Amino acid sequence: DVKVTQSSRYLVKRTGEKVFLECVQDMDHENMFWYRQDPGLGLRLIYFSYDVKMKEKGDIPEGYSVSREKKERFSLILESASTNQTSMYLCASSVHLGQSGYTFGSGTRLTVV
């Protein structure tokens, strides 16, 4: 069963902390994505990567960075967590950027206090 695994289901962090969210896929997909999901705002793309070490900004990259050192792993980094980054974070991967389904992880609910 193909999977996208997010390392943490729930996280509570303090304002100003550096936060790492990890995502691993076992499908050998080229493309990986980080979204945040907030009520009424749907899925908003933070960053995506179409190859190892390659990344592109999504719609809301401010306050975030990413790292993809290996094909199967895509990390989202909150450089200095703020309360407005409290959200559900979803990782996804896909074979093609736009012509195939995305496989999502179960999400990490991050609370910044």
Partner 1 sequence: QQQVKQSPQSLIVQKGGISIINCAYENTAFDYFPWYQQFPGKGPALLIAIRPDVSEKKEGRFTISFNKSAKQFSLHIMDSQPGDSATYFCAASTGFQKLVFGTGTRLLVSP
Site string for partner 1, 24-63 (x = CB under 8 A): -------x-x------xxxx-x--x---------------
Residues 44, 29 contacting (CB under 8 angstroms): no
Residues 7, 106 contacting (CB under 8 angstroms): no
Stretch that binds partner 1, among 14-22, 60-68, 70-78, 91-99 (CB under 8 A): 91-99
d(CA 1, CA 31): 19
# residues near partner 1 by CB under 8 A: 22
Binder among 24, 78, 92, 112 for partner 1 (CB under 8 A): 92
Least separation in angstroms between residue 31's CB and partner 1 is 8
| Burial (0-12, 13-18, 19+ Cβ within 10 Å), 65 | middle
d(CA 21, CA 50): 18
Residues that bind partner 1 (CB under 8 A): 4, 31, 33, 40-43, 45, 48, 90, 92, 96-99, 101-107
